[in-house]
Chains A and B, each alone.
Chain A
Amino acid sequence: MRNDFLLNYKKYLLTIAGAFILGYIFLLLQMPMREISPDFNAQQYVSIFTLCLFGLGAFIGMSFPAFNSKADTITYLLMPSSAFEKFMSQFLIRIVAGTVLFFLIFWIDAHLARATALFALRKFEHAPQIASFDFAIIYRNIYMNNNILMMFGTIFMLVSTGVYIFSSRIFFKKMPVVKIVISIVSLVFITAMFMILLSHIFYPETIGMRLTIPEHKVVTNHSNVEIWLCSLFYCSWLFFLPLGYFKLKEKQL
């Protein structure tokens, strides 16, 4: 990691600065700037936050930058450190530090954009209201109906997606972000097709591309679909993480 910071600190600082400026501009553009504009409510932060998560996904998708070229791959693979150290170093930089910085930058940008918008609106008598941002807004949105299982399900869905992006990057050499997006779309499509196929096999009355999943309560307040989705999201990162590690260990030129 010391090696990585020594060589790439300028790149990381530029990325942070770029993310900060872009996030600020993006948030500011969503906020009301005229007297006739509608109010900006807390819910709108959730949509923007969700969209910004794609930016974090792209940052994670650009992990292991050495694999973009053959020359860099040689240097990286022959660097005297274990595959575990190389994997953990990228994991800590891209996923852990990336996520912490993402939250921090979003929080600062949201407050800064609100302050800028309020400053621009100060001259109007009936200026639209702009809600203040705090992470409780996000928390309230994922903690729906006091369903703690689904709340963690949503969190682990994001974790699993992040780990999938991180690990699948090792499989791709050129244009990893594009290929990761294609692979996610393909994965969702194949899963949907498989579910439709199962629907046709077990429920012959299923018509066309429809999905038949009879819902029933497995435990108090939780349906079989919820349990299935949560087990998928809770566990898939545990599969993707070692998959990435072993792919790195077995990586060839």
Chain B
Amino acid sequence: MFNDFSLQLESGCIVGLLGKNGAGKSTLLSLITGLIQPQSGEINVNGFTPFSRNPNFLSDIYMVPEEFSFPHVSIATYVKAFSPLYPAFDHKKLQGIFEEFELLPASNLNKLSHGQRKKFLIAFALSTNCKVLVLDEPTNGLDIPSKSQFRKILVSSVTDEQMVLISTHQVKDIDTIIDKVVVIDNGVIIYQENTNEITQKLYFDTVSSFTDSDQVLYSERCPFGYRVVKRANGETESNIDIELLFNAIIHKTI
């Protein structure tokens, strides 16, 4: 799937991995975590070859997959069984996130709703303090308050030593928290940029109408007129509209 593919991600940032269905996002996540082996080429994560699945590598990377299942045990038993496998596990942090997410340690994991189980998995992932956190569609199944809680908790708990890679289609859920955008299509990186550089280069706006002289790179109709991406004039910055940015990239206007 990936030919001539090169991606380097540094610690201390939250990366949004975007792409259409079948673009190769899940394959890339599987390669990074060592779930599949590259047919050729080299992958290095924290100094390890992922597919070797060295225990030291595995204790410093945590993946929240899109599909997950749990054994028929309570949250407390699950934590007791798995937390010793992660040397930097922070029980205090876990307790704090449980309180935010309103999760009770005595609850049986399989009696919780999908959203609550997802929240537990996110809480556990963040508490491992692993250097690499891979989140595949983390906000799928979360209700609206939980999505904002997720953003708040993620931003407050990620340290400079950690790198969080979030693959999602729900770009609106993460547009305020990511530091870098990577877009892949057909196994090729078609765009990668830090968000502060994006805001310096591009300006996102909603206008009732526009003309050719407005130098609009990409536009989409919306109830109030048009959502547009323009070149930034260097004077004012806008908030990033990742959905619009993504569509502009896919339509090759950026």
Query: Residues of A with Cβ closer than 8 Å to B?
Result: 2-3, 6-8, 10, 69-72, 74-75, 77-83, 85, 249-250, 252-253
Cβ of B78: which chain A residues have Cβ within 8 Å of it? 7
Proximity bits, B29-53, A CB within 8 Å = 1, else 0: 0100111110000000000000001
| B86 with A250: CB separation less than 8 A | no
| A81 with B63: CB separation less than 8 A | no
B69 located at the interface, meaning its Cβ lies under 8 Å from any Cβ of chain A in the complex: yes
Choose among A10, A79, A252 the residue that contacts B36 (Cβ–Cβ < 8 A). Answer: A252
Q: How far is the CA of A10 from the CA of B86 in the complex (A)?
A: 25
The closest CB in chain A to the CB of B61 belongs to A78
| A78 with B63: CB separation less than 8 A | yes
- Nearest CB of B to A85, in Å: 8
Cβ of B33: which chain A residues have Cβ within 8 Å of it? 78
| A80 with B55: CB separation less than 8 A | yes
Cβ of A75: which chain B residues have Cβ within 8 Å of it? 68-69
Cβ of B37: which chain A residues have Cβ within 8 Å of it? 250, 252
B190 located at the interface, meaning its Cβ lies under 8 Å from any Cβ of chain A in the complex: no
B7 located at the interface, meaning its Cβ lies under 8 Å from any Cβ of chain A in the complex: no
The 5 closest A-B pairs by CB, nearest first: A80-B59, A80-B58, A6-B81, A253-B35, A71-B69
Cβ of A77: which chain B residues have Cβ within 8 Å of it? 34-35, 53
Cβ of B54: which chain A residues have Cβ within 8 Å of it? 82
The closest CB in chain B to the CB of A68 belongs to B69
Q: How far is the CA of A78 from the CA of B136 in the complex (A)?
A: 15
Proximity bits, B167-188, A CB within 8 Å = 1, else 0: 0000000000000000000000
| B73 with A74: CB separation less than 8 A | no
Known: A78-B58, A82-B53; 17 extra A-B contacts, CB below 8 A, are A6-B73, A6-B81, A7-B71, A7-B78, A7-B81, A71-B65, A71-B67, A78-B34, A78-B35, A78-B53, A78-B63, A80-B55, A80-B59, A81-B85, A82-B54, A250-B37, A253-B36
| A74 with B63: CB separation less than 8 A | yes
| A80 with B69: CB separation less than 8 A | no
| A80 with B86: CB separation less than 8 A | yes
With A74-B65, A250-B37: A79-B85 Cβ-Cβ less than 8 Å: yes
Q: Which of B55-103 contact A (CB under 8 A)?
A: 55-56, 58-59, 61-63, 65, 67-69, 71-73, 77-78, 80-82, 85-86
Cβ of A3: which chain B residues have Cβ within 8 Å of it? 81-82, 85
Listed by A's residue number, 19 A-B pairs whose Cβ atoms lie within 8 Å are: A3-B81, A3-B85, A7-B81, A10-B72, A70-B67, A71-B68, A75-B68, A75-B69, A77-B34, A78-B61, A78-B62, A78-B63, A79-B82, A80-B55, A80-B85, A81-B55, A81-B58, A82-B53, A85-B55
| A82 with B35: CB separation less than 8 A | no
Cβ of B36: which chain A residues have Cβ within 8 Å of it? 252-253
With A74-B63, A80-B55, A252-B35: A69-B81 Cβ-Cβ less than 8 Å: no
| A82 with B65: CB separation less than 8 A | no
Query: Residues of B with Cβ closer than 8 Å to A?
Result: 30, 33-37, 53-56, 58-59, 61-63, 65, 67-69, 71-73, 77-78, 80-82, 85-86
| A82 with B55: CB separation less than 8 A | yes
Most buried by B among A6, A69, A74: A74
Cβ of A74: which chain B residues have Cβ within 8 Å of it? 35, 63, 65, 68
- Nearest CB of A to B29, in Å: 10
The closest CB in chain B to the CB of A69 belongs to B69
| B77 with A6: CB separation less than 8 A | yes
- Nearest CB of B to A188, in Å: 33
| A7 with B53: CB separation less than 8 A | no
| A83 with B35: CB separation less than 8 A | no
- Nearest CB of A to B119, in Å: 17
Cβ of A6: which chain B residues have Cβ within 8 Å of it? 73, 77, 80-81
- Nearest CB of B to A130, in Å: 41
The closest CB in chain B to the CB of A6 belongs to B81
- Nearest CB of A to B127, in Å: 15
The closest CB in chain B to the CB of A7 belongs to B71
Cβ of A249: which chain B residues have Cβ within 8 Å of it? 53
- Nearest CB of A to B178, in Å: 23
| A79 with B72: CB separation less than 8 A | no
- Nearest CB of B to A16, in Å: 17
The closest CB in chain B to the CB of A249 belongs to B53
| B71 with A8: CB separation less than 8 A | yes
Q: How far is the CA of A250 from the CA of B63 in the complex (A)?
A: 19
Q: How far is the CA of A82 from the CA of B59 in the complex (A)?
A: 11
Q: How far is the CA of A79 from the CA of B61 in the complex (A)?
A: 10
Q: How far is the CA of A249 from the CA of B72 in the complex (A)?
A: 27
Q: How far is the CA of A242 from the CA of B56 in the complex (A)?
A: 23
Cβ of B82: which chain A residues have Cβ within 8 Å of it? 3, 79
Q: How far is the CA of A253 from the CA of B36 in the complex (A)?
A: 6
